[in-house]
Amino acid sequence: MDDRTVTVRTNRLSRSDRTFLTINNAFWVVVLFAVLYPLYLIIIASLSDPSALYSGQVIFWPVNPSLVGYSAIFQYHALFVSYLNSIIYTVTGTAISVIVTLAGAYTLSRRSFPGKKILMMFFVFIMFFNGGLIPTFITLKNLGFYNTRAILILIGCVSVWNLMVARSFIETSIPHELYESAVIDGADHFTYFFRIVMPLSTTIIAVLVVYYGVGKWNDYFTGLVYISDSKLLPLQTTLRQILATIQSAVSSDFAGAIVAVTPNADAVKVANVGKYCMIVISTGPIILLYLFTQKYFLKGVMIGSLKG
């Protein structure tokens, strides 16, 4: 298609079409600004002077650029312990969740599996109804999971929604005839799953990694309820505890880190900058996860959304 064809087609747009396109583009520019500006504000706030930020001077660019917030965070040892904990919980929990979800999806996608409709109805039921927080807490505590790393890794191991998406992907993307050919060659279900299904499921694996990874990384409630040892807390729970006390009184450990960096500064003002620095640091791994899996993630969401 040459430039003349494009020009002719453009000139054929009616006035109402051009008006619609103009309004539509303006609308999405406003939406884009509304989405990106808060992210930009967090970054410039983390790089601004505490007094300028506290007085509301930071709007479009950093005011009196300073790294005092990051310096205070780097002095706070408990934050990095929880950061390492979250990495362990996220990587281990995501790997287990992906394997278990794919195994369950493969089983439910088999035509010869008896009772799969009843089992699927059971999964859908528990997706909407559960026993409640207190019975769940008592059960997990009696099983010995309270105040252990295992609870943060295994809780929420399988999402029913992710299970259904993975099942739809296997049913629609991997032909049943491939299984029949593998059986003729002497393969059993384990061989077929690990040597054929898994290598052909890279797109849905990327989707599951993002879904489970984001969920595990952002989970603060599990640590808040099931963990009493501060050394086992995930990052998000530690951040919540700090942010909840910034305006009224800074926690003693974090206040000590601030005083060590800026002895003469107002601890509350520095902590106010510190919360933006924490947001920047805590969102880094998730942004990297999206960047590395974006190509497979977009394709996997579209394929997995098809119904078999």
Residues 6+ apart with CB under 8 A from 59: 41
- Decide: helix, strand or coil at residue 111: coil
| Per-residue pLDDT reduced to its tens digit, 31-77 | 988 888 888 888 888 888 777 777 777 778 887 877 777 877 777 77
Global pTM reads: 0.75
Cα torsion angle, 79, 85, 91, 96, sign: negative
Q: What percentage of the chain has pLDDT greater than the value 90?
A: 11
CATH 1.10.3720.10 positions along the chain are 71-304
Q: Average of pLDDT values for 216-226?
A: 89
Res. 7: pLDDT tops 60: no
Residue type, 249: A
Residues 254-280 have pLDDT tens digits of: 555 555 555 555 666 777 777 788 888
In terms of Cα–Cα distance, which of 48, 66, 68 is closest to 56?
48
Mean pLDDT, rounded, for 109-138: 82
> How would residue 91 be classed by pLDDT, with cut points 50, 70 and 90?
very high
Q: 126-165 pLDDT, tens per residue? A: 878 877 888 888 988 999 899 999 999 988 888 888 888 8
CA 172-173-176 angle, to 5 degrees, is 75
Q: Does 295 score more than 50 pLDDT?
A: yes
CATH entry 3.40.50.80 includes domain 71-304: no
- Residue pointed to by tokens 């195994």: 103
